[in-house]
Structure formats: structure tokens, C-alpha cells
Amino acid sequence: MAYENLLLEKEDRLAILYINRPKALNALNNATLVELKDAVLKIKADPEIDLLIISGAGEKSFVAGADIAFMQNLTAPEGRAFGALGQEVFRLIEAMEKPVIAAVNGFALGGGCELAMCCDFRIASTKAKFGQPEVGLGITPGFGGTQRLARLVGLGMAKQMLFTADVINANEALRIGLVNSVVEQTELMDVVKGIARKILSKGQLAVRFSKVAANEGMQTDIDRGMTIEADLFGLCFATEDQKEGMTAFLEKRKPGFTGK
Ligand code: CAA
């Protein structure tokens, strides 16, 4: 599939996906979601790629939300289907075993904040702005915002953001735990790539098992979570990476992980 609304770069085990609709500040219409789904499925299946970074093309916007012009005249069933598509694509990103980092370079509003939230963690530039402005348009968030925001920043802060539609800056997003760090715009991609390279230097099966255990643990009680962890911890001992990682430590050398 040729992409009209995405840019995809690949560099040595790393994929960088930019949402690219400059005329609408990278807002997500149906076509962009279909392309995003296609790209994510390909990255998920690509044995040469171990980590995905998602960002917005240009200086101003990560994603300014779902496309309001596209949504304006939708019927209730059409609105539901559009929301379901966004939810499906974002859940695919969240559940993909390979790590996904959001490099938030500007506006992350509505569907943009929701896209950032389905990633494993978020690094923001000083220019980033976050919010769920949907109630100001007479709608609720529809791509997972009512569910993920509370899980990330707590129910009280999430409800205040959802009910007021307030837009917060990067430092406030840092304070409430919505992003992990804030860096200068010009340094954003280098910082995120640096974090990505550090992750890529580790045992990738262990990284993926950690993601699965953390994600699944958030959906269940602590005892079931411990069972999930115990199973995956045990599975690590069937991998070459575990043998290599521990042997390298004991031989006082750097490990050469193969992801097997
Ligand atoms: N959908 C469609 N077009 C959008 C858009 C969106 N979400 N956001 C921006 N645009 C378009 C504008 O209409 C404008 O187009 P024209 O040049 O053709 O007029 C262009 O992008 C530039 O935008 P502005 O002129 O508004 O730029 P600004 O710098 O003055 O403001 C902004 C930037 C504060 C982000 C403002 O554009 C804005 O408030 N955008 C809407 C944000 C929003 O409400 N997002 C939530 C959408 S609903 C949603 O996401 C539902 C869901 O959960 C699934």
C-alpha cells in the first residue's frame, strides 16, 4: 500500500512513522487510520524491525485529533464505526510486542493524545500540548481516551481534563505523568532514538516479554499478574539471549544478543 498520509523511515532495526497531513495539522481521517493500520501490521510482522517510533511530520503538530471535517456529518452508526476503527488501530499498537515510543513534537489533542497514550511511553518536546478537547465539540473521546487517560494520570486528573477540555503544556504533562521527559524540539528525535538504541541493545525477547507482562498485569489482579510474570520469566530460560546475557556478565564482556 502506498501511503498518502504517512511517512515511514527505517534505520537499522528501527522504524519511524510520521503522521503526515500538513493541511490539517496531521488530523486523523478514515484514510489515515487505514494506512496506519497497514503500516503497523507490516512493522509488527517485519523481522528486521524491533522498535517503532511514532511522531508527527512538521514542526507544529503531532496529531491535532480526529478529523473534524470528516466527522461533521457522520450518522451515529458511522460515528461508531469510525471510533471502532481508531480503537482497533490504537489497540494494535498497544498490544504489539515490539516497543513503541511516541515522540510528541507539537499538538497532541483528542485522537492525537489518544495515539500518544497507546504507545508504551511518551517523550515530549517543549512545544508539545496535550488535551482531550472533545466535549467542546459535543462528543466524547472515541479512540480510547476515556480509558487510557485515567490509567495513566489517575481518575481525578483524567476527569478534569475530559470535562474541561483544557489543553496542557509539556511541563504540566510531565508533572502529571503523561510524559516521561521534556526536551528541546531540535533534540527530540535524537533523544528518542537514543532511548530506542539503548532498548535495542538489550535482549529483545526479554524486552517484549516485559511489555506483555506489564500490559497484561494492568488488566488483571496482582495474583494473576504474578502468574503471567512467572510464566514469562520461566520462558526466558529457554532463550539463547538468557544464556548469552548471563555468560557475558560472568565473563565480564558485553552481551551479543540475537533475539533468539
Ligand atoms: N480536524 C480537521 N482539521 C483540523 C484539525 C482537526 N482535528 N485540527 C486542525 N485542523 C485544520 C484547521 O481546520 C486548519 O485548516 P484550514 O487551514 O483549512 O483552515 C488547519 O488545520 C490549521 O489549523 P488552525 O488554523 O486552527 O491552527 P491554529 O494554530 O490556529 O490552531 C489548534 C491549532 C489549536 C490545534 C486548532 O487547530 C485546533 O483546536 N484543532 C482541533 C483540535 C481538536 O479539537 N481535536 C480533537 C478532535 S475530536 C477527536 O479527536 C475525537 C476522538 O477522540 C476520536
CA 153 / ligand 1 centre spacing (Å): 24
Please, which pLDDT band fits residue 42 given cuts at 50, 70 and 90? very high
pLDDT at position 13:
97
Q: Among 5, 21, 23, 25, name the best residue to mutate to test ligand 1's pocket (greatest count of ligand atoms within 8 A of Cβ).
A: 25
CA 36 / ligand 1 centre spacing (Å): 19
With contact defined as beta carbons under 8 Å apart, do 24 and 72 qualify?
no
Does residue 144's CB lie within 6 angstroms of at least one atom of ligand 1? no
Query: What is the average per-residue pLDDT within 115-136?
Result: 98
Cell of 65: 485529533
Interstrand relation of 14-19 and 6-11 (parallel, antiparallel or unpaired) = antiparallel
Give 134-172 pLDDT, tens digit per residue: 999 999 999 999 999 999 999 999 999 999 999 999 999
Query: What is the average per-residue pLDDT within 26-49?
Result: 98
- The domain locations on the chain are 6-200, 204-250
Please, which pLDDT band fits residue 184 given cuts at 50, 70 and 90? very high
The dihedral formed by the CA atoms of 214, 82, 163 and 105, expressed in degrees to the nearest 10 = 60
Question: What is d(CA 11, CA 196) in angstroms, rounded to the nearest whole number?
Answer: 11
Please, which pLDDT band fits residue 83 given cuts at 50, 70 and 90? very high
pTM over 0.85: yes
Does residue 118's CB lie within 6 angstroms of at least one atom of ligand 1? no
pLDDT at position 237:
98
Alpha helices in the chain (DSSP H): 30-45, 68-71, 76-95, 111-118, 145-153, 155-164, 170-175, 188-200, 204-218, 222-236, 240-250
Longest CA–CA separation in the chain, Å = 66
6-200: CATH superfamily: 2-enoyl-CoA Hydratase; Chain A, domain 1 (3.90.226.10)
Interstrand relation of 181-183 and 167-169 (parallel, antiparallel or unpaired) = unpaired
pLDDT at position 197:
98
- The DSSP annotation for 28-69 comes to B-HHHHHHHHHHHHHHHH-TT--EEEEEESSSSEEE--B-HH
Query: Which residues are identified as catalytic?
Result: 114, 134
CATH code given to domain 204-250: 1.10.12.10
Measured from the Cα of 66, ligand 1's closest atom is 50
Report the 10 Å Cβ neighbour count for 154: 12
Same fold across 6-200 and 204-250 = no
Give 54-78 pLDDT, tens digit per residue: 999 999 999 999 999 999 999 999 9
